[in-house]
A and B are shown apart, each in its own frame.
Chain A
Amino acid sequence: MTTQGCAAPEQTVALPAGIDLSTQAVIQGVVSGPGTAYARLLDDSGEFTGEVVVSDEGIFRFFAAPGQWTVRIIAGGGVTKDVSVEAKLGEVAQLAVTV
């Protein structure tokens, strides 16, 4: 049983230490643009599944299940941008988003 809460790990370029990629379906990306942005993961019905603050370097990462997902980037001024992505077990799906 984990004692970890629901806060996201630090959003770094490399996968966090101790993560066995073979058991994970990772979606990650880089956001370019001014100001603070948030990355939100929506499932194939459009429902919220997770959200992280994009790091100062523009990085975000999700540990999803295999399948179709949408990443919604939320930035200041009411700007949102949706990107569709497929996650596969043991792989990292890499995105680049400009807002």
Chain B
Amino acid sequence: MSRSAVLVDADWVEANLDTPGVVLVEVDEDTSAYDKGHIRGAVKIDWRDDLQDPVRRDFVDKAGFEALLSARGIANDDTVVLYGGNNNWFAAYAYWYFKLYGHENVKLLDGGRKKWELDSRELVTDVPERPATNYQAKDQDLSLRAFRDDVVAAIGTLNLVDVRSPDEFTGKLLAPAHVPQEAAQRGGHVPTARNIPWSKAANDDGTFRSNEELKELYAGAGVDFGKDTIAYCRIGERSAHTWFVLHELLEQPNVKNYDGSWTEYGSLVGVPIELGEAR
């Protein structure tokens, strides 16, 4: 699958705003951004309210995903173009999620909402009305998802890519610096993980670096492309961004996103944790 099959630029989106079968979806945690202005025709998915199970820490299940997409007027054969804030973190998470449930045609808008805004492109407040569909999801493709036991088993064996900032990796910070710091967990990283922050894969405007630059980045930081890879961060959305880079842009076959990530691993009893720089 080529880069253009999974990633589109803003010019492509502007040219396809009225193309039948192309559905724009803005995905954010803070959905006030959508309410203040979004790309014309885009529907909204709320990372928390729409994609998370309201009780357990898990996704909405297959039936919940089907109900969500049906209500948003998204059909199985639509081309879904995802974008969002935070340098597309939540859009990349949703992209991974669409792939988990077997949606065929899904793409990311390169640079997401940020690039669109910095280019001063049009944003509107009109909410589109799309007729409901009868969306049918597939069973979760668990070849894309890692669980905690997979991570423990991968120590010293597979590529473990910690995509958080260096200060989170070493244990200095417990969360990204734009949210208040938390205390109910241990700091550090999974032993043998390489720290390759998600941000190294992106330019300042949120667009992805070239495939050549990305290959050099990960190989140079110790990723063995002959091995399977698990990416993690704090709650699984930044690592979905890196999963997108490794699995979709660089076409590495066996890459899993560990969505439990540090908020789960750093609270487990008895698992090994390493502090400081990578060893």
Binding site for B on A (CB under 8 A): 1-10, 16, 19, 23-24, 35-36, 38, 40-41, 43, 45, 47-53, 61-65, 72, 74-77, 80
Contacts and interface: CB of A to CB of B under 8 A. Distances in A.
Contact of B178 (A24, A36, A41, A47): A41
Nearest to A26: B180
8 contacts: A1-B185, A1-B263, A7-B30, A7-B85, A9-B179, A51-B86, A76-B120, A77-B118
B70 interface: no
Interface string B40-62: 00000001100000000100000
Contacts of A65: 167, 172-173, 177, 181
A7 B29 contact: yes
Contacts of A63: 175, 177-181
A10 B32 CA distance: 10
A61 B48 CA distance: 23
A77 B173 CA distance: 33
A76 B120 CA distance: 7
Contacts of A2: 175, 182, 184, 263
Contact of B118 (A8, A36, A61): A36
B118 A76 contact: yes
B103 interface: no
Contacts of B185: 1
Given A1-B184, A65-B181, 8 more contacts: A3-B57, A24-B180, A43-B165, A50-B177, A51-B87, A61-B178, A62-B178, A63-B179
Contacts of A35: 120
Interface residues of B, number: 45
B204 interface: yes
A6 B176 contact: yes
Interface stretch (B13-21, B151-159, B231-239): B231-239
A30 B130 CA distance: 40
Contacts of A1: 184-185, 263, 267
B71 to A, nearest CB: 22
B117 interface: yes
A47 B182 contact: no
A38 B111 CA distance: 13
Nearest to B204: A74
Contacts of B120: 35, 76
